[in-house]
């Protein structure tokens, strides 16, 4: 028996096949366009400049890590690090837009910006403890913070006008004890009854290398000088107009610090040595060790909220101490110096070894 087909049915089926083929072709084309668009979007990184407050060193390691391992790029950023130093003043470049983010020192600078009407804020605190220390010789009975009041101390002008005024106010130190510190440790090395200011990750290393003396270290943060340090600052305008960009920079920097402290930091250290050829591997290793030993980056609030954490209680505590010491005016609205909008989000906690 011969099968007889309805011609209209055949035509309809043919049309259906053609439409299906056309839809498939359109889908392929659309997918290709979307893929190209995705690649284009991935390549269209937001370019920002981050100014540090000194020459490249391990204390800047997390930022260099985020450049070296592509963390910034994964967050849609192309970051240029502009090192600070004796011939650079990146702080002046932040409000003018020459740099987008700035590595601050401690919160005194942020308070000063408010007092001067400079529209910037601290948006994260990489160091939970400022690494400012006072050092003494071992074996001299100078093994307590109280014992420091019995000797002369080498203190620089900046220290005299900041943390030393707090030492006077809080602990009863005297300006009569102060001798000028010219950032030369030779007088300290020569006189066993002399104390000296320093930076936890720097001067103790230099003194031990030059003289074999392993000094006693008194970290001021452990005695109540509770400022945040190595802050990230930016302009109020950028916070208002592009909070997503600000958040991505903060998040990527936090991840960079976890990877620098607990992961493979070789590539970051290579970048640091490229920007600062005078630094040695031994100095870098010493700095990382001290940052870990004293909980400079990762301690306290960071254990539950992540690196970069800040809180209001710490801010008001430090502000009140600085007002009491006569360092900061009581008229300064310290609440304008920072924002918690971009931190305390537990970013990177999964990267810390258990």
Which residues make Cβ contacts (< 8 Å) with residue 343, sequence separation at least 6? 123, 124, 125, 250, 305, 306, 308, 309, 310
Q: By three-state DSSP, how is residue 344 classified?
A: coil
161, part of any domain: yes
Would the pLDDT of 24 be above 50? no
19, part of any domain: no
Which structure tokens are listed for 243?
A: 């909070």
* 231 & 198 share domain: no
Q: How confident is the model over 91-113, as pLDDT tens digits?
A: 999 999 999 999 999 999 999 99
Total residues found in the chain within this entry: 354
Q: How many domains does the chain have?
A: 2
pLDDT at 160: 98
**In the chain, what percentage of residues exceed pLDDT 70?**
88
Would the pLDDT of 31 be above 70? no
18, part of any domain: no
Which runs of consecutive H residues, i.e. helices, occur in the chain?
A: 7-43, 61-68, 71-74, 90-93, 107-115, 157-160, 163-171, 186-190, 203-211, 236-241, 243-262, 266-275, 281-293, 302-305, 312-324
41, part of any domain: no
Would the pLDDT of 46 be above 90? yes
pLDDT at 354: 87
* 63 & 107 share domain: yes
Which domain, by its residues, includes 345? Answer: 46-129+227-351
* Residue at a domain's end among 206, 223, 240: 223
* 77 & 144 share domain: no
* 343 & 304 share domain: yes
| Placement of tokens 């983010």 in the chain | 101
Q: Is the distance from CB of 123 to CB of 338 less than 8 angstroms?
A: yes
Query: What mean pLDDT do residues 279-283 have?
Result: 98
Which structure tokens are listed for 35?
A: 């893929």
Q: What is the pTM of this model?
A: 0.87
Cβ atoms within 10 Å, residue 157:
11
pLDDT at 43: 64
* 231 & 337 share domain: yes
**In the chain, what percentage of residues exceed pLDDT 90?**
86
Which domain CATH number covers 150?
A: 3.40.190
Which structure tokens are listed for 76?
A: 């849609």
pLDDT band with cut points at 50, 70 and 90 for residue 148? very high
* 322 & 250 share domain: yes
* 108 & 52 share domain: yes
Interior angle at CA 259, CA 315 and CA 291, nearest 5: 50
């Amino acid at each position: 028996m011969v099968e007889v087909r309805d011609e209209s049915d055949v035509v309809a089926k043919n049309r259906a096949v053609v439409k299906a083929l056309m839809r498939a072709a359109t889908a392929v084309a659309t997918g290709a366009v979307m893929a190209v668009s995705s690649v284009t979007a991935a390549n269209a990184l937001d370019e920002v400049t981050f100014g540090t407050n000194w020459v490249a060193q391990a204390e800047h390691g997390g930022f260099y890590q985020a450049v070296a391992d592509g963390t910034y790029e994964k967050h849609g950023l192309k970051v240029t690090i502009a090192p600070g130093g004796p011939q650079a003043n990146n702080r002046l470049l932040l409000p003018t837009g020459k740099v987008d983010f700035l590595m601050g020192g401690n919160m005194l600078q942020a308070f000063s910006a408010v007092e001067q009407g400079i529209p910037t804020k601290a948006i994260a605190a990489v160091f939970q403890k400022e690494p400012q220390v006072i050092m003494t010789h071992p074996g001299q009975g100078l093994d307590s913070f109280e014992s420091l009041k019995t000797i002369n101390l080498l203190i620089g002008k900046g220290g005299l006008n900041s943390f030393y005024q707090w030492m006077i106010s809080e602990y009863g130190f005297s300006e009569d004890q102060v001798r000028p510190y010219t950032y030369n440790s030779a007088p300290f090395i020569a006189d066993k009854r002399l104390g000296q200011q320093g930076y936890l990750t720097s001067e103790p290393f230099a003194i031990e290398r030059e003289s074999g003396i392993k000094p006693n270290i008194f970290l001021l943060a452990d005695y109540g000088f509770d400022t945040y340090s190595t802050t990230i600052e930016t302009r109020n305008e950028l916070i208002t107009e592009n909070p997503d960009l600000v958040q991505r920079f903060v998040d990527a920097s936090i991840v960079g610090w976890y990877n620098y402290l607990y992961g493979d930091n070789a590539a970051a250290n290579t970048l640091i040595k490229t920007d600062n050829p005078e630094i040695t591997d031994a100095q870098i290793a010493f700095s990382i060790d001290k940052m870990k030993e004293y909980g400079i980056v990762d301690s306290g609030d960071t254990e539950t909220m992540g690196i970069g954490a800040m809180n209001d209680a710490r801010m008001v505590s430090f502000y009140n101490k600085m007002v009491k010491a006569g360092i900061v005016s009581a008229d300064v609205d310290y609440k304008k110096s920072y924002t918690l909008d971009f931190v305390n989000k537990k970013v990177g906690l999964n990267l810390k070894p258990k």
